Amino acid sequence: MTILLIFGMKYFSVGRQARMRLANEGAYRELAERGAAAQAASATSIAAIQADLVEVKTKLVAIEKVLREVE
């Protein structure tokens, strides 16, 4: 009877460890997906900022040209 109880406890322990491992893998997968989404959003924001910076540079060059002509 004791031997059966020990094997039963071991089987229960292995099953529980497997369920916990699956839960952790799911959490890591979800974290990775959120990280990838955040990275994509950051890349989009950076691209928009760069486009605005190019526009500002272009306008600044035009303003400098006008100021040189005025002198």
Q: pTM of the entire structure?
A: 0.58
Q: Among all chains, which residue has been given the structure tokens 């005025």? A: 70
CA dist., res. 71 & res. 67, Å (int):
6
φ, ψ of residue 35 to 5 degrees: the values are -65, -40
SS3 (DSSP) at 1? coil
Question: Greater confidence, 23 or 57?
Answer: 57
pLDDT of residue 71: 75
- Can you tell me the mean pLDDT for 11-28? 86
- The rounded mean pLDDT for the chain is 91
